[in-house]
């Protein structure tokens, strides 16, 4: 079953005692484009997070947002006195260098996060990646469930339009076959009218009729078009990342339909060809959303 590129997924878990919410949103994209907003202390996990996303999603413009609740914990906060002293000395040196008045206070040191050491940064803390991955995979699974449901709707729409085009193709083939004897008779009548009582080369006329019949024949185009319909359905059944294949087959279908239209000056066939091109255009619009 095919999947849409559009979808939303969410997962909520408690990671290291902190309630955490994962949200992913995905829209159309030619390739896989990732945007992540994760907690600062997970920065070393970003590569693994992106790799996990690639394992579950192949196309689309995807945004991941991770939100953690602020909770009060019993974790102690230590102050690195040596680092604080280094900052203070640097600030005093800058003050002397620039000739700045005033007294250095604790407020001037508070913006420097390196002075403080929280429990999360301590050595020997457990690795949170397994918990992160479980939540992320759950979120991506929910995303793909939604994308698969939308993909099923697209597949039903594609199948209905393929059947409409197949029905039109049957009528076109019948009309095309019926037109050959009609065109032959029309050509004979025009020659007789032009030549009157004069004789004309009937063998040459028959040759022209054969050439005309070949020009009117749409058998080759019909065979190729049905083959494209078949491969289109096979790729729909294959599912997963087939959007590019379907788009290529759609271009080939459009080529055959245009050729059929160029071979006829019959109003009924022309009307059917226009209808088929409209169906192809509607499929083309929808295929842009297939993964």
Output the average pLDDT for the chain.
Answer: 85
The pLDDT score that the predictor gives to residue 13 is 93
| Residue 4 pLDDT level (bands cut at 50, 70, 90) | very high
* Maximum separation of any 2 CA atoms in the chain, in Å: 123
Helices 129-195, 202-216: inter-axial angle, 10-degree rounding: 160
pLDDT (tens digit per residue) in 259-280: 998 887 788 989 999 999 999 9
Report which DSSP code applies to 168: H
Percent of the chain with pLDDT over 70: 81
CA atoms 33, 240, 24, 46: torsion sign? negative
User: Residue 120, Cα to own-chain centre: how many angstroms?
Assistant: 39
Selection from 58, 28, 34, 60 nearest residue 46 by Cα: 34
Q: Is 253 helix (H, G, I), strand (E, B) or coil?
A: helix
Q: Is 63 helix (H, G, I), strand (E, B) or coil?
A: strand
Q: CA 244, CA 217: separation in Å to the nearest integer?
A: 31
The answer to whether residue 85 scores a pLDDT higher than 80 is: yes
Q: CA 212, CA 164: separation in Å to the nearest integer?
A: 29
- Tokens representing residue 29 in the block: 């994209």
Q: Is 24 helix (H, G, I), strand (E, B) or coil?
A: strand
Q: CA 63, CA 73: separation in Å to the nearest integer?
A: 30
pTM, to two decimals: 0.68
Task: Report which secondary-structure segment, H or E, holds 27.
Answer: strand 18-27
Q: Which residues contact 263 (CB under 8 A, 6 or more apart)?
A: 176, 215, 216, 217, 218, 221
CA separation (Å) from 152 to 43, 146, 240? 37, 10, 12
Radius of gyration (Cα) for the chain, nearest Å? 35
Report which DSSP code applies to 106: G
What class, spelled out in words, does domain 7-73+128-146 have in CATH? alpha beta
Q: Where are the domains of the chain?
A: 7-73+128-146, 78-117, 148-287
pLDDT (tens digit per residue) in 109-154: 888 877 876 544 445 557 899 999 999 999 999 999 999 999 999 9
Percent of the chain with pLDDT over 90: 52
Q: CA 248, CA 240: separation in Å to the nearest integer?
A: 16
Q: Is 282 helix (H, G, I), strand (E, B) or coil?
A: helix
Average pLDDT of span 75-90: 81
CA separation (Å) from 133 to 14, 35, 48, 53, 121? 12, 17, 9, 10, 20
Beta strand 60-68 pairing with 78-79 = unpaired
Q: Is 128 helix (H, G, I), strand (E, B) or coil?
A: coil
Selection from 218, 282, 283 nearest residue 2 by Cα: 283
pLDDT (tens digit per residue) in 42-55: 999 999 999 999 99
255 φ/ψ angles, rounded to the nearest 5 degrees: -65, -45
């Amino acid at each position: 079953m095919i999947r849409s590129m559009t979808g939303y997924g969410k997962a909520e878990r408690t990671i290291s005692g902190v309630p955490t919410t994962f949200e992913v949103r995905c829209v159309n994209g030619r390739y896989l484009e990732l945007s992540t907003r994760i907690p600062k202390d997970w920065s070393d996990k970003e590569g693994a997070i992106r790799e996990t996303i690639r394992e579950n999603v192949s196309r689309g413009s995807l945004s991941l947002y991770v939100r953690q609740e602020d909770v009060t914990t019993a974790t102690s906060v230590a102050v690195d006195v040596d680092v604080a002293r280094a900052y203070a000395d640097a600030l005093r040196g800058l003050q002397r260098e620039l000739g700045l008045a005033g007294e250095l206070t604790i407020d001037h040191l508070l913006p420097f996060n390196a002075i403080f050491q929280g429990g999360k940064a301590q050595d020997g803390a457990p690795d949170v990646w397994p918990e992160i991955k479980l939540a992320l995979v759950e979120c991506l699974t929910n995303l793909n469930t939604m994308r698969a449901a939308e993909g099923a709707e697209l597949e039903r729409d594609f199948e209905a339009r393929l059947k409409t085009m197949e029905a039109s193709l049957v009528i076109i083939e019948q009309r095309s076959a019926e037109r050959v004897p009609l065109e032959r008779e029309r050509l004979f009548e025009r020659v007789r009218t032009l030549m009157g009582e004069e004789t004309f080369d009937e063998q040459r006329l028959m040759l022209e009729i054969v050439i005309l019949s070949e020009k009117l024949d749409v058998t080759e185009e019909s065979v190729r078009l049905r083959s494209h319909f078949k491969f289109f359905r096979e790729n729909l059944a294959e599912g997963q990342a087939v959007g590019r294949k379907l788009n290529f087959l759609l271009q080939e279908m459009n080529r055959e339909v245009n050729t059929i239209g160029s071979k006829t000056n019959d109003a009924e066939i022309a009307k059917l060809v226009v209808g088929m091109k409209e169906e192809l255009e509607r499929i083309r619009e929808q295929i842009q959303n297939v993964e």
